[in-house]
Amino acid sequence: MKLCECGCGGEAPIASITQRRRGHIKGQPVRFIMGHNARVSLPAYRGGRSRTSNGYILCMDKEHPRASKNGYVREHILVAEKAIGRYLPVGVEVHHVNEVRDDNRNTNLVICENTTYHQLLHARMDAYRATGNPDAKKCWVCQQYDLSITRRSGRKWHHSDCYARYERDRKKKKHEPLNSENDLEVSNE
């Protein structure tokens, strides 16, 4: 009897044929149980950790309720769950304070109750960076941050004069008469 060399403790099977490229000799135990050699012999294997294209670190945990179809969970979720001692409820998001997606220290993570609160944190951080005050609002018309913005249309903040100018221009374009000379030139081309 020989144990699998990956360290799982499983009993290695006996090779039924000799395969020199795999190192199998008929009648002798093989080094690894089928599929286990990736754990130690492949240079690209990183212990079940990988990085997404947008910077998050993924960890292999096939039993986790938030695991993807290939068994990976974002590491910051696992760190937050370890800190509170249970799984995060559905809808809860984890915010990176310094906005570095692979910095998953406990002190850099904030558990947000929902997406709206998470977006609010990002909006306040953007306002603080732009003006030095997290209470500043961004005008959707002129794209400037200001503390004096008090008007709101739907979910968007705006200056009164910016919105008036926007409406004036919009109505002007809507009711602008067609220029017959330009229409003739376009049709002749």
Are residue 94 and residue 153 in the same domain, yes or no?
Answer: no
Query: 1-5, 53-57, 100-104, 163-167 — which is least confidently predicted?
Result: 1-5
Judgement on whether residues 108 and 159 belong to the same structural domain of the protein: no
Q: Which range of residues forms the domain containing residue 81? A: 48-117
pLDDT digits (tens, 9 = 90+) for 6-45: 777 788 889 899 988 878 889 998 888 877 765 555 555 5
The Cα 80–Cα 114 span in angstroms is: 15
Q: How confident is the model at residue 86 (pLDDT cuts 50, 70, 90)?
A: very high
Q: Across residues 136-150, what is the average pLDDT?
A: 83
For residues 33 and 67, the answer to whether their CB atoms sit within 8 Å is no
Phi, psi of 124 (to 5 degrees): -70, -35
Asked whether residue 187 is domain-assigned, the answer is: no
Tell me what percent of the residues of the chain surpass a pLDDT of 90. 33
Q: How far apart are CA 163 and CA 150, in angstroms?
A: 12
pLDDT at residue 41, as a whole number: 52
Q: What is the mean pLDDT of residues 148-175?
A: 80
The gap from C-alpha 139 to its chain's centroid, in whole angstroms, comes to 27
How sure is the predictor about 113, in pLDDT bands with cuts at 50, 70 and 90? very high
Query: Is 170 part of a structural domain of the chain?
Result: yes
Domains of the chain: total = 3
Q: Are 104 and 129 in contact (CB under 8 A)?
A: no
- Tell me the whole-structure pTM to 2 decimals: 0.61
Asked if 113 and 57 sit in the same domain, the reply is: yes
Same domain for 30 and 52: no
* Whether residue 22 sits in one domain with residue 5: yes
CA distance linking residue 125 with residue 128, whole number of Å: 5
Question: Do 59 and 74 share a structural domain?
Answer: yes
In a domain, 65, yes or no: yes
Are residues 64 and 26 located together in one domain of the fold? no
Specify the pLDDT at position 147.
82
Residue that the structure tokens 């945990």 belong to: 61
Task: Classify residue 183: in a domain, yes or no.
Answer: no
**Helix (H), strand (E) at residue 158:** strand 156-158
CA distances from 189 to 53, 177, 186 (A): 48, 21, 5
Distance CA 75, CA 94 (A): 10
Give pLDDT, residue 37: 64
